[in-house]
């Protein structure tokens, strides 16, 4: 396996297994989501967001293989496929229809190609001749063969879940009485029903992070607030292999240990912002509450809004004295970085789950625009100015045909270093040269959720999502209403 892939796999697993912790202080009245909505944004702000949404959509449309629907992990350049990126792509295609980027027929054809591939892909316990097993899929797939990319790649419960986010979006979005849209709905149903969530419960009632033919189940489970929220909702909603509600109770059982105050906000922590964004890109948690929410008098959406403010406050304080940090330049999450090198006595990393919270702090001066962009639905009043400032200040180097590059680091200037990815820009520092699908996804989905609520509205209509939330104990808000079309 190549070193970059090993870096990615190790960093991904590290990001998944980080302990969770929590933060903050009372919400200041002035910071309440007063909130900037798209209709009241300035024309310049609207143009900024419109342009970013279109460019980010184009990344998915241009990078995906039109025959299989496989979306690369990173692009431009040669890459393996990330099944999570496929899930974001399937959702982006519906957004593209609504925005007029592509026709409905174009999106249908791309979606059908994708779903047909995953429905028919080989599922078995072999090391090298499978795309998945027991309804789950390998984290990374070969872009040409569609099979497991490498023996170091795990059968991933969370990445399968993110793929299913797009699958179920397609099931509910393509609702017309035509042969092709009927086929989309049936394929989506078949793919979702095939996932054997109970088998993935190596240590019930929790769900394992994954499995490999050689090593069997990964010795780590989804427990504690993180992107695993969507794993449990999907597993609870299954009509064929559902887990018991005790799984949700077990997942939330450590929440009180990770609830506290960090940089001016009180909330349930997960240091990298992707842990707040991934589940909520598809599910509207505004106004719905589980038992833990009711005890703490907030919903998970409000929790993530506070997490977003906390990250901005951290950047303003800038305890690490990194170059560029401030009120409108901030954002730590899982992303690329310069590499595992030192510069000026300071350590830098390649791909890593960067973040700042009570659970941990990992900050090497690398900023990821998706950390802010993917949080636009939570706190647009601070996100839009951040996107604008980063584009204005660094746009020549970090903003291109497909929107923001994955990450940049104004503190790194070692011209002799062997970079993992990216390039050095003398007047700026390290700048990535690619975008990652799992970082592009939150940007385009959450921009649309902020603008129209499209993804949330579509997913509200999905009976499996609704069932999963109800079995987890969520009540209130839109769950108390009859499903409606967007």
For 224-288, the DSSP string reads SSSTHHHHHHHHHH-SSSPPPTHHHHHHHTTGGGGEEEETTEEEE--SSTHHHHHHHHHS--TT-
The predicted model gives 73-85 an average pLDDT of 98
Indicate whether 452 belongs to any domain. Answer: yes
Q: Is residue 486, in this structure, part of any structural domain at all?
A: no
Q: What is the CATH number of the domain that holds 473?
A: 1.50.10.140
How do residues 143-181 score in pLDDT, each as one tens digit?
999 999 999 999 999 999 999 999 999 999 999 999 999
Q: How confident is residue 483, by pLDDT bands cut at 50, 70 and 90?
A: confident
Inside any domain, residue 435: yes
Output 441 or 18, whichever has higher pLDDT.
441
The confidence score (pLDDT) of residue 421 equals: 94
What's the pLDDT tens digit per position in 191-250?
Answer: 999 999 999 999 999 999 999 999 899 999 999 999 999 999 999 999 999 999 999 999
Residue 25 has pLDDT above 80, yes or no: no
Q: Considering the domain boundaries, does residue 448 fall inside one?
A: yes
Which residues partner with 367 through β-bridges?
408
pLDDT at res. 34: 53
Tell me, what's the pLDDT at 35? 79
Find out whether 355 and 361 touch, Cβ atoms under 8 Å.
Answer: yes
pLDDT at 266: 98
In the chain, the N- to C-terminal Cα span, in Å, equals 45
Residue 201 lies in a domain: yes
Average pLDDT, the chain: 93
Instruction: List the single range of 21-35, 58-72, 132-146 with lowest mean pLDDT.
Output: 21-35
Please check the confidence at residue 470 and state whether its pLDDT lies above 80: yes
Distance CA 392, CA 406 (A): 17
Number of domains in the chain: 1
Check pLDDT > 80 for residue 485.
Answer: no
Residue 22 lies in a domain: yes
Q: Do you find a cis peptide bond into 439, omega within 30 degrees of 0?
A: no
Tell me which residue range forms the domain holding 171: 3-480
Answer whether residue 485 is part of any domain: no
Residue recorded with tokens 């959450």: 446
pLDDT digit string, tens, across residues 424-439 = 999 999 999 999 999 9
Q: Is 262 a residue whose pLDDT tops 90?
A: yes
**In contact, 437 and 89? CB cutoff 8 Å:** yes
pLDDT of residue 66: 97
Q: Quote the CA–CA distance of 343 and 332 in Å, as a whole number.
A: 20
Closest of 73, 49, 160 to residue 443, by C-alpha: 49
Decide if pLDDT at 19 tops 60: no
């Amino acid at each position: 396996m190549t070193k970059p892939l090993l870096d990615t796999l190790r960093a991904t697993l590290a990001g998944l297994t980080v302990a969770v912790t929590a933060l903050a202080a009372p919400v200041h009245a002035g910071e309440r989501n007063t909130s900037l909505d798209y209709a009241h944004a300035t024309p310049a702000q609207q143009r900024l967001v419109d342009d970013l949404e279109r460019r980010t959509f184009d990344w998915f449309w241009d990078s995906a293989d039109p025959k299989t629907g496989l979306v690369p992990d990173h692009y431009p350049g040669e890459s393996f496929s990330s099944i999570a990126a496929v899930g974001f792509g399937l959702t982006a295609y519906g957004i593209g229809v609504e925005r007029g980027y592509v026709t409905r027929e174009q999106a249908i054809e791309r979606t059908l190609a994708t779903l047909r591939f995953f429905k028919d892909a080989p599922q078995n316990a072999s090391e090298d001749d499978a795309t998945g097993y027991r309804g789950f899929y390998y984290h990374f797939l070969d872009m040409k063969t569609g099979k497991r990319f490498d023996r170091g790649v795990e059968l991933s419960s969370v990445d399968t879940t993110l793929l299913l986010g797009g699958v179920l979006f397609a099931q509910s979005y393509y609702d017309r009485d035509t042969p092709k849209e009927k086929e989309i709905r049936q394929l989506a149903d078949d793919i979702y029903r095939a996932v054997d969530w109970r088998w993935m419960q190596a240590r019930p009632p929790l769900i394992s992070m994954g499995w490999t033919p050689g090593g069997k189940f990964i010795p780590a489970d989804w427990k504690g607030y993180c992107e695993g929220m969507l794993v449990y909702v999907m597993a609870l909603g299954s009509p064929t292999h559902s887990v018991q509600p005790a799984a949700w109770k077990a997942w939330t059982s450590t929440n009180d240990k990770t609830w506290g105050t960090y940089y001016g906000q009180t909330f349930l922590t997960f240091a990298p912002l992707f842990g707040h964004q991934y589940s909520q890109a598809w599910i509207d948690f505004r106004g719905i509450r589980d038992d833990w929410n009711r005890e703490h008098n907030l919903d998970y959406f409000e929790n993530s809004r506070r997490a977003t403010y906390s990250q901005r406050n951290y950047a303003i304080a800038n305890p690490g004295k990194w170059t560029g940090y401030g009120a409108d330049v901030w954002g730590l999450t899982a992303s690329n970085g310069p590499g595992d090198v030192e510069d000026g006595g300071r350590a830098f990393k390649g791909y890593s789950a960067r973040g700042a919270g009570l659970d941990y702090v990992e900050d090497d001066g690398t900023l990821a625009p998706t950390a802010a962009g993917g949080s636009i639905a939570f706190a647009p009043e601070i996100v839009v100015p951040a996107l604008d400032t980063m584009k204005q200040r660094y746009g020549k180097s970090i903003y291109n045909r497909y929107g923001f590059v994955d990450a940049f680091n104004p503190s790194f200037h070692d011209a002799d270093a062997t970079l993992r990815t990216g390039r050095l820009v003398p007047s700026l520092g390290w700048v990535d040269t690619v975008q990652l699908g799992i970082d592009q996804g939150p940007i385009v989905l959450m921009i649309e959720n902020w603008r129209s609520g499209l993804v949330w509205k579509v997913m509200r209509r999905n009976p499996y999502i609704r069932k999963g939330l109800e079995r987890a104990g969520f009540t209130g808000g839109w769950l108390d209403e009859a499903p409606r079309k967007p």
